Amino acid sequence: MTDQIDTDLANDGMPKIKIIGGNPLHGEIQISGAKNAALKLVCAGLLTSDELKLTNVPTSLRDMTTLADLLRYLGADVDMDDNAKTMSIRAIGGVDKTLAPYDLVRKMRASILVLGPLLARHGEAKVSLPGGCAIGSRPVDLHLMGLETMGADIKIEDGYVIAKSPEGGLKGAEILFPKVSVGATEHLLMTATLANGTTTLSNAAMEPEITDLAECLVKMGAYIEGIGTNKLIIHGVETLKGAEHSVIPDRIETGTFMIAAALTGGDVTLTNTRANTLDSVTALLRKAGADVTISGDKIRVRRQDDLKSMRGIDIMTEPYPGFPTDMQAQAMTMLTLCDGAGMVTETIFENRFMHVPELVRMGANITVQGNSAIVRGVDTLKGAQVMATDLRASVALVIAGLCATEGETTVNRIYHLERGYEDIAGKLSAVGANIRREN
Ligand code: UD1
């Protein structure tokens, strides 16, 4: 049965990544702009009729082109320059349509974030319920609760959210999130900038991508207090203006390469990054036994002794500044090769252990119990045919492939991987990995 699955995957005609593991990584990797910040910043472009120019954008990511297509469909002008890594959005005089169709929205969950800006500026919007990575049910109830508290009339019909602003526009409101949500915080933050009066978002998420969005909105003329805290106070303004903003470096891409460097026993410097957004990841690596040094916008990661000098430790995912759920799969790959055992507890998403059976195929020793996994370190991982249906699970398998000292690893279905990592094979082969992308 497994042989049949392997043959089917090998011949499915889809792009793959092939890795022969065992090479320590050495050199410098330049970190891209953060996808999870850039997506929301692009949506913020709908809030003004002036140009919003973004720099340090990860323009080659599929999620960026998907969102650009959605904005163009709505009637905005969007220019992307993959060499300059810039993106300009001009929703001059508003947009032609306020309908975001299923075909464009299903590819990416973040598309729901056009709803609030359309509503705030045009008084109505119809947006398909979103798709994205298959990591749990991922509802949008908190987004809709917030918009309703601001006076919007919301109906769900045939898989679409249909929203209308009250007469005179959305109203400022006191919103207390019963659960911390990155997307809902960003969505309501953007929407509230154009509401009448003051909105307070309490128990708001504090991820660095939210701070980046808030700082861009302030450049656009928004009036926001409490940036970087879990209480955001937004005083609505009549209109926003254009601005230029550089997207923050991707902390998850940085953390992914930090783990790859430590695990392969290399010496890698990540450039154009921001160490102060990675405290929990740096602490984890140091506790496990890696050497992490920080200097300006660079982070250097080394492992001086053999692999067994790395120790198994316990990890729990939490909202920022806790350990990010988007680093959980990569950290689990690290534990598979550390000395001793470690427990990984996932508190943000249910069903986010899809990498486990694939790591086990490569020789890992992992037992899952509910939302925790016990990982007992093994001596080696072996190359195998693997696949994943979630972005971070896929990259965890790439790291496992870089460490597998026997055989070749083929990561299949790299569609999700390419939604979040710019030229991962190119970046890793430039620091000595034996990795190639096959069409
Ligand atoms: C964002 C990130 C994603 C990251 C996640 C948590 C983007 C594009 N994606 O996703 O990479 O893993 O933050 O750091 O930035 N929830 C509800 N109702 C809602 C909204 C969320 O119950 O209306 C739940 C979710 O199912 C999940 C939890 O809240 O269990 C956190 O989700 P949220 O923080 O909203 O994640 P996203 O913004 O979707």
Q: pLDDT tens across 150-172, in order?
A: 999 999 998 899 999 999 999 99
CA 140 → CA 112, 179, 216, 371, distances in Å? 8, 12, 24, 22
Label residue 197 left, alpha or beta by phi (over 0 means left) and psi (-120 to 50 means alpha): left
Ligand 1 close to Cβ of residue 322 (< 6 A): no
Please compute the mean of the pLDDT values over residues 72-91 and round it to a whole number: 96
Average predicted confidence (pLDDT) for the chain: 93
Taking CA atoms only, the protein residue closest to ligand 1 atom 20 is: 140
Instruction: Give yes or no for residue 138 having a pLDDT over 90.
Output: no
The whole-number pLDDT of residue 92 equals: 81
- Does pTM top 0.85 for this prediction? yes
The whole-number pLDDT of residue 136 equals: 52
Please compute the mean of the pLDDT values over residues 380-396 and round it to a whole number: 93
The whole-number pLDDT of residue 4 equals: 60
For residue 181, report the distance from its CA to the centre of ligand 1, in Å: 5
What is d(CA 361, CA 211) in angstroms, rounded to the nearest whole number?
40
The amino acid present at 181, given as its one-letter code, is S
Ligand 1 close to Cβ of residue 349 (< 6 A): yes
Cα diameter, the chain: 67
The whole-number pLDDT of residue 94 equals: 66
CB 342 within 8 A of CB 322: no
Question: Which is nearest to 310 in space by CA: 325, 329, 291?
Answer: 291
Give the residue, out of 135, 138, 177, with the most ligand 1 atoms within 8 A of its beta carbon, to mutate for a pocket test: 138
Instruction: Give yes or no for residue 133 having a pLDDT over 60.
Output: no
For residue 391, report the distance from its CA to the centre of ligand 1, in Å: 14
Taking CA atoms only, the protein residue closest to ligand 1 atom 19 is: 140
Please compute the mean of the pLDDT values over residues 420-432 and round it to a whole number: 97
Instruction: Give yes or no for residue 1 having a pLDDT over 50.
Output: no
The whole-number pLDDT of residue 426 equals: 97
The whole-number pLDDT of residue 304 equals: 76
403 has catalytic annotation:
no
Please compute the mean of the pLDDT values over residues 195-204 and round it to a whole number: 98
Neighbours of 380 (CB within 10 A): 15
What is d(CA 277, CA 279) in angstroms, rounded to the nearest whole number?
6
What is d(CA 57, CA 39) in angstroms, rounded to the nearest whole number?
9
Q: Dihedrals φ, ψ of 212, to 5°?
A: -60, -45
pLDDT band of 10, cuts 50, 70, 90: low
Instruction: Give yes or no for residue 57 having a pLDDT over 80.
Output: yes
The whole-number pLDDT of residue 47 equals: 96
Question: Which is nearest to 375 in space by CA: 397, 396, 360, 395?
Answer: 360
Neighbours of 208 (CB within 10 A): 20
Span 11-26, pLDDT tens digits: 677 899 999 999 999 9
Please compute the mean of the pLDDT values over residues 281-307 and round it to a whole number: 94
Ligand 1 close to Cβ of residue 247 (< 6 A): no
For residue 185, report the distance from its CA to the centre of ligand 1, in Å: 10
Taking CA atoms only, the protein residue closest to ligand 1 atom 26 is: 138
For residue 234, report the distance from its CA to the centre of ligand 1, in Å: 22
Instruction: Give yes or no for residue 127 having a pLDDT over 60.
Output: yes
